[in-house]
Amino acid sequence: MSETMNSLERTRTVLAGAIPDRVPVDLHNFMMLAHTSGIPFPDFFQDGAAMAEAHIQAWREFGHDVILVENGTAALAEACGCHVEYLEESAPVAHGAAIKSLDDVDKLVVPDPFKVHPLKENLKATKILVDELGDKAFIMGRADQGPFSLASMILGMDLFLLELDYKV
């Protein structure tokens, strides 16, 4: 089958509910990129320019359709005040709640993603990728947490689950 669309066209076609020339491919590769970059994982996951460059190199090598920009599953939690540990050979992990009880929820501040760490680095990586490949590949920047998982990190999983039971 010959390809008649570029990666961006192909992915947009599927999102519009139509049939593309082939199925789009998403290479969920942020860990591989950290490893092959040669940059220590803690530094890589906090450096938007390094993340973008690694994505560009991978896209040129593999030609996947969707570039998925993230630095693990703790970015939003860290931006909301949770302690995050940057590990040597793994993705960042949230260790430590941002608040001690549900009574403290009003003390939380909605973070400005352009100013707080590490969201500003994810956005920097996404902007570099859009500037470089935005007319060729579908670029999806994300912080990879939904409301349930984020709430459990902000309050702490144990207390969060106990509060669910109590409130329900």
Distance from C-alpha of 115 to C-alpha of 123, rounded to nearest angstrom: 10
Is 92:72 a contact under the CB 8 Å cutoff?
yes
- For residue range 77-95, list pLDDT tens digits in order: 999 999 999 999 999 999 9
- For residue range 110-166, list pLDDT tens digits in order: 999 999 999 999 999 999 999 999 999 999 998 778 889 999 999 999 999 988 876
- For residue range 12-56, list pLDDT tens digits in order: 999 999 999 999 999 999 999 999 999 999 999 999 999 999 999
**Can you say whether the dihedral through the CA atoms of 39, 41, 47, 51 is positive or negative?**
positive
Predicted pLDDT of residue 168: 53
The token duo for 65 is 């359709």
* Domain ranges within the chain, ordered by starting residue: 7-167
Predicted pLDDT of residue 165: 72
Distance from C-alpha of 143 to C-alpha of 123, rounded to nearest angstrom: 10
CATH class, 7-167 region: alpha beta
Helix (H, G, I), strand (E, B) or coil at 111: coil
Predicted pLDDT of residue 111: 96
